[in-house]
Amino acid sequence: PDASLTMQYSALMQTEEVSIEFTEDGVKRMADIAWQVNEKTENIGARRLHTIIERLLEDISFRAPDMSGESIKINAEYVNKNLGELAKDEDLSRYIL
């Protein structure tokens, strides 16, 4: 897609000269987490994916001005490290994701 969420966030980070690459397994893992959280809590569909990407990139977005010139690869390992436990905790994911 021409305006996918991953492309939008990559473009947004480029404004701070931070390169973000979303790998196929990273995108699949984000979709899996979105589906799992939608199944456990209120099913808000694809809007959940937007929330998950926001949460995943929160730290990078905050630190972006100091990360100029860096490249970050968002793969399944990165997603699990940053969201894995949060997605498993139903009470917490209900309020955060």
pLDDT in tens, 11-47: 999 999 999 999 999 999 999 998 888 888 878 888 8
67-81: per-residue pLDDT in tens? 999 999 999 999 999
Write down the pTM of the prediction: 0.81
Domain housing 25: 5-96
Q: How many Cα atoms occupy the beta-carbon half-sphere of 34 within 13 Å?
A: 19
For position 58, which CATH number holds?
Answer: 1.10.8.60
What is the tally of structural domains in the chain?
1
pLDDT of residue 93: 55
Q: Of residues 53 and 46, which shows the higher confidence score?
A: 53
- 3-class SS shares of the chain: helix, strand, coil, % to 5: 70, 10, 25
The pLDDT of 55-77, averaged and rounded, is 95
